[in-house]
A and B are shown apart, each in its own frame.
Chain A
Amino acid sequence: MRDGAMAGSRSARTAVTHVVLIAGAVVMVGPFVWELLTSLKTFSETTHLPLTFLPHRWQWSNYVRVFEQLPFRQMFLNTVLMAAGRTLAQLVFCSLAAYAFARMRFPGNKLLFGLFLSVLMVPSQLFLIPQYVIIQDLGWVNTLQGLIVPGMFSAFGTFLLRQFFLALPHDVEEAARLDGANAFQIFLRIALPLARPGLLALTILTVLWSWNDLMYPLVVTTDPSAMPLSAGLATLQGEHFTDYSLLMAGSIMATAPMIVAFVVLQRHFIQGIAFTGAKG
């Protein structure tokens, strides 16, 4: 009798749990569904009261209009190249520096690492004005290198990979050293392959932040065809303010790559992002 009552209360509790979690999930997903439905309506349908839930006729042509009314293809390409350029450079530069900090001793390493950490702890607004001045002096406004180059260096990435290198066991590296390998060979052949989870985390985070960042691209680009998607969409909103079916179609295409990547690499995304804390 008592067991039955307890099982009953437990299943009631599970039901309440699901009700709360599903209500929350509706709040999380609902806006995305509304975004998708709006992107498939006509302009007059989006501004007709009472609002209809489903589009009368599905306007796939809105997605084509995004390409016609914006340099969307170019913006997409800019975003991909910016994310790829920054990420590849960071993987190389961060892992080199990180391994030296984790495993090698050299005069000045503490001071240098302290300087790196100070970059990590300061808000990005403190670099932005001089970065803009540098980009301007180099004539890099509205260029791909202007979008990429400062983002090739990261105190955060160095710190992240250093943690991974510190957690590696010493034995294999020591064996290689006894076999006559030099420090760089040990880094390249042994430590780097073992730190693959760290490299993956850094890749995910750098791509995601590059893809989503707004203030830096707004500052170093003024020409829409030189902008990445974030700055481009912000500009699109300024110009096509009321045409929400167009805006929604554009933003779905701009966000889809990160959402697909997240769904595929879910566990890695969550672990990487949970480790990091502050953005940027």
Chain B
Amino acid sequence: MAAVNSLARPRRARRPANRRPGRRPERMWAYLMVAPMTIGLSVFYLWPIAQTFYFSFTRSGPFGGHTWIGTANYRALVDEPSVFQSVANTLFYAVVQLAGIPLAVLLAALLNQRGLRGRSIYRLVYFLPVVTMPVAVAMLWRWMYNGDYGLINQLLSVVGIQGPHWASDPSVALYAVAAIGIWMALGYNMVIFLAGLQGIPTMYYEAAAMDGAGPARMFFRITVPLLSPSIFFATVLTVINSLQMFDLAYMMMSTPGAAAGTANPALPRVRTVSYLFYQKAFVEHDLGFGAAVAFVLLGFILAMTLIQFRLQRRWVHYA
């Protein structure tokens, strides 16, 4: 993981004195080398950002025309209850995902103990969901959440609990989806923390042991503060990824017969902003409204990331 750290902070090597910037043939080569990527990114990414912005002020006709309607899409956003609800759902989902972080810190700290046997097996097992297709993961969990024949309710019935229909009960479905999200991201967060833990000198623990500190005290007084930059990194990424969540909600809500994702009673309580974007733009073909939703999403991601960078001064310790 040392490679990762050195990557994060590139060392800019000294530029030899005899290399003047931008000699003519070198300049030509440079432009040739950046050209394909520049053209591709411009056509498929940069220009589309501008176009999405333009679309958000238009209404698209059935035959592809775009009529300028000013801020009507944004005003409609404010009025439509599904927008407010999906923003609330997405924020809730993101906050619940943060609960996975302390869990990952604890497991990583346990895994990092010196001389622990089977470390690589544990790491393999915890990381498995990270590389598994989210569509398949959602399908598998939906089967386990099945109200009648699901494994989870079967296990609950052993201890006398009648479990709900996890995927379609509006009061629990979002928790059920959030649990899958935590399960999927756990191994990823653990790997970030394992890398961070490797950077904590063992002498701190030795000194603390000398003073008679127990494992819990060492965890809270040494491990957590010194790991706080990694925890901050994981928190920022978790929030950015959670705010864009689509796959799990889409797969949990789709129903047979009807167009995917229209008839599940829990849909209004599970629909994320990204899901709403997909539904408006590509199911209902309201490109302008979809584009406006995309900008709402961008605004949320920027705002949440900014807030986290502001708060970091209060709790992140850089050695």
A binds B: yes
Contacts of A104 in B (CB 8 A): 22, 26-27, 29-30, 33
Contacts of A248 in B (CB 8 A): 139-140, 143
Do A130 and B47 contact each other (CB < 8 Å), given the known contacts A101-B34, A169-B13? yes
**Smallest CB separation, A226 vs chain B (Å):** 16
CA distance A271 to B2 in the complex (A): 10
User: Is the Cβ of A34 less than 8 Å from the Cβ of B151?
Assistant: yes
| Contact-residue size bin, chain B (C-beta under 8 Å from the other chain) | 35 or more
User: Is the Cβ of B290 less than 8 Å from the Cβ of A100?
Assistant: no
CA distance A129 to B54 in the complex (A): 11
A247 interface residue per 8 A CB criterion = yes
Do A274 and B4 contact each other (CB < 8 Å), given the known contacts A129-B48, A259-B128? yes
CA distance A187 to B143 in the complex (A): 51
User: Is the Cβ of B48 less than 8 Å from the Cβ of A130?
Assistant: yes
User: Is the Cβ of B52 less than 8 Å from the Cβ of A126?
Assistant: yes
User: Is the Cβ of A14 less than 8 Å from the Cβ of B136?
Assistant: no
Which of A55-63, A64-72, A230-238 lines the interface with chain B?
Answer: A230-238
Query: Which single member of B29, B246, B277 contacts A183 (CB below 8 Å)?
Result: B29
Nearest-CB residue, chain A, relative to B54: A130
Contact with A along B183-200 (1 / 0, CB 8 A): 100111001100100000
Do A254 and B7 contact each other (CB < 8 Å), given the known contacts A31-B141, A125-B297, A158-B37? no
Query: Which single member of A21, A119, A128 contacts B111 (CB below 8 Å)?
Result: A21
Secondary structure at the A interface, as helix, strand, loop or mixed, is helix
CA distance A134 to B154 in the complex (A): 49
Contacts of B29 in A (CB 8 A): 100, 104, 182-184
Contact with B along A238-278 (1 / 0, CB 8 A): 11111010011001101100110111001001110111011
Interface size on A, residues (CB 8 A): 110
Query: Which single member of A38, A100, A208, A259 contacts B33 (CB below 8 Å)?
Result: A100
CA distance A122 to B46 in the complex (A): 10
Of residues 184 through 223 on chain A, the ones whose CB sits less than 8 Å from some CB of chain B are 184, 187, 197, 208, 211-212, 214-215, 218-219
Contacts of B246 in A (CB 8 A): 214-215
Contact with A along B160-203 (1 / 0, CB 8 A): 00000000000000000000000100111001100100000000
User: Is the Cβ of A96 less than 8 Å from the Cβ of B33?
Assistant: yes
Of residues 35 through 76 on chain B, the ones whose CB sits less than 8 Å from some CB of chain A are 36-38, 40-41, 43-49, 51-52, 55, 64
User: Is the Cβ of B291 less than 8 Å from the Cβ of A129?
Assistant: yes
**Smallest CB separation, B287 vs chain A (Å):** 5
CA distance A118 to B41 in the complex (A): 11
User: Is the Cβ of B27 less than 8 Å from the Cβ of A106?
Assistant: yes
User: Is the Cβ of A125 less than 8 Å from the Cβ of B294?
Assistant: yes
B220 interface residue per 8 A CB criterion = no
User: Is the Cβ of B154 less than 8 Å from the Cβ of A255?
Assistant: no
> What are 16 A-B contacts with C-beta separation under 8 Å?
A14-B113, A105-B26, A126-B298, A130-B51, A133-B64, A163-B7, A167-B7, A183-B26, A230-B133, A234-B254, A237-B139, A241-B255, A254-B136, A255-B132, A266-B124, A274-B191
A contact set with B: CB distance below 8 Å: 13-14, 17-18, 20-21, 24-25, 27-29, 31-32, 34-35, 38, 46-47, 49-51, 92-94, 96-97, 99-101, 104-107, 109, 112, 115-116, 118-119, 122-134, 149-150, 152-153, 155, 158, 163-164, 166-167, 169-170, 174, 182-184, 187, 197, 208, 211-212, 214-215, 218-219, 229-230, 233-235, 237-242, 244, 247-248, 251-252, 254-255, 258-259, 261-263, 266, 269-271, 273-275, 277-279
